A = this chain, B = another copy of it.
Amino acid sequence: MSEHGRLDIHRARTEWLRGDGASCDVVLSSRVRLARNIAGMPFVAHASRSDRRQVLDLCRQRLLASDLSEQLMWVSLHEAQPLDRTLLAERNLISKQMVRGLLPGQEAAPDAPRGVAIALPDERLSIMVNEEDHLRIQCIRTGLDLTGAFAHIDEIDDRIERTIDYAYHPRFGYLTACPTNVGTGVRFSVMLHLPALRMTGEIEKVRHAAEDMSLAIRGWAGEGSENTGDIFQLSNQTTLGKSEQDLLVELHEQIVPRVVEYERRARRILLEKRRTTLEDKVYRALGVLRHARVISIEEAMTLLSLLRLGVVLGLLDGLAQQTVNHLMLLIQPAHLQRLRGQEMPQSARRVARAELLRTHLGEGRHAEPPDPA
């Protein structure tokens, strides 16, 4: 396991940016996350600094000694620069809480011992240590592939369990810090791009329907975030009382396909009844992205969302979904500052963001609009 590995943020080799796989017109990625704790150690929220240090060292050593070691890069988050932690959160490799060392009901502790192991180069697997649980393992797949992600994480889980003794109760199952995770300790989630449902105002219906099924819909950057770029995370709320397999089948085969079909229907209606208006929106978005000199993250995400819709619907030539997905990541504050190699105040980021977008979407590069009829 490398302690000096480097994420290649310049290229879109990250699994969930690929823009292919099943239903990738709507589903960016599928993720499975497991919460695991070490037997005989207090939960992170109740652990002393020395307990946490002990958990961290143990996990790092065991992962280092495991057969996963070769593909993993280790980052000690409490020793990392804040900007790098934010960058990892922007890539969904660690939670937002982990950036500041937050635990439920506690003050932020940026220097609390915690870390993450990341599989390179595709970032399909990451293992957070001392998040809310001792271990939070997540596997990610492009498109709708909860099954594939689950098979992967199941195998990883077994391999880790060979070296680490998990806290497990014969009746309750895997013990987790938060009661909603107790039992299978699994959380499934899919990242959905739902621009048409937002445009037709039907997104609230989806949100209510999801809540009725004990599913959560959140913005792209996780809990509490806004629906930036029309990207939503749909995930199960509880794991207790249902088998992993039931949850998986329900989400993968029923619920997500239903949302996908709903979004596609909305897109078809827009194409049939408001095609010119839709093309106008998509091309204006491209025009502004290609020409703006100053742009906020919110506006850029909104415009990139329109671009992604245009690409998926075949309204834009020569632009790949992967490029748009990658740009959605590169324009995030920490990525932008890492690309520039310096910290920047918001005003400078807005200028740098506009430059980045111009460079990547400039004329003659991508998305040459078809000649006017």
B291-A284 in contact (CB<8A)? yes
Task: Let me know if A51 is at the binding interface, CB within 8 A.
Answer: no
Chain B: minimal CB distance from A344 (Å): 14
Contact partner of A283 (CB less than 8 A), chosen from B280, B293, B359, is B293
Contact partner of A287 (CB less than 8 A), chosen from B287, B368, B372, B373, is B287
Q: How far is the CA of A283 from the CA of B359 in the complex (A)?
A: 14
Please, which residues of chain B bring their CB within 8 A of the CB of A249? none
Per DSSP, are chain A's interface residues mostly helix, strand or loop, or mixed?
helix
Q: How far is the CA of A91 from the CA of B52 in the complex (A)?
A: 79
Task: Let me know if A358 is at the binding interface, CB within 8 A.
Answer: yes
Task: Let me know if A355 is at the binding interface, CB within 8 A.
Answer: yes
Q: How far is the CA of A279 from the CA of B373 in the complex (A)?
A: 31
Q: How far is the CA of A288 from the CA of B276 in the complex (A)?
A: 15
**How many copies of the polypeptide does the oligomer hold?**
2
Task: Let me know if A354 is at the binding interface, CB within 8 A.
Answer: yes
Task: Let me know if A286 is at the binding interface, CB within 8 A.
Answer: yes
In A245-297, which residues have CB < 8 Å from any B CB? 276-277, 279-280, 283-284, 286-294
Chain B: minimal CB distance from A328 (Å): 19
A287-B279 in contact (CB<8A)? no
Please, which residues of chain B bring their CB within 8 A of the CB of A351? 276
- A369: nearest chain-B partner, CB-CB: B291
Please, which residues of chain B bring their CB within 8 A of the CB of A290? 287, 291
Task: Let me know if A363 is at the binding interface, CB within 8 A.
Answer: yes
- A295: nearest chain-B partner, CB-CB: B280
Q: How far is the CA of A359 from the CA of B279 in the complex (A)?
A: 17
Please, which residues of chain B bring their CB within 8 A of the CB of A358? 369, 372
A293, A294, A358, A364 pick with most chain B CB within 10 angstroms? A293
Q: How far is the CA of A180 from the CA of B302 in the complex (A)?
A: 55
In A340-373, which residues have CB < 8 Å from any B CB? 351, 354-355, 358-359, 363-364, 368-369, 372-373
Please, which residues of chain B bring their CB within 8 A of the CB of A280? 292-294, 354
Q: How far is the CA of A279 from the CA of B291 in the complex (A)?
A: 10
Chain B: minimal CB distance from A258 (Å): 32
Contact partner of A291 (CB less than 8 A), chosen from B277, B287, B354, B359, is B287
19 contacts between A and B (CB under 8 A): A280-B293, A280-B294, A283-B292, A283-B293, A284-B291, A284-B292, A284-B293, A286-B291, A287-B287, A287-B288, A287-B290, A287-B291, A287-B292, A291-B369, A355-B372, A358-B372, A363-B364, A363-B368, A364-B364
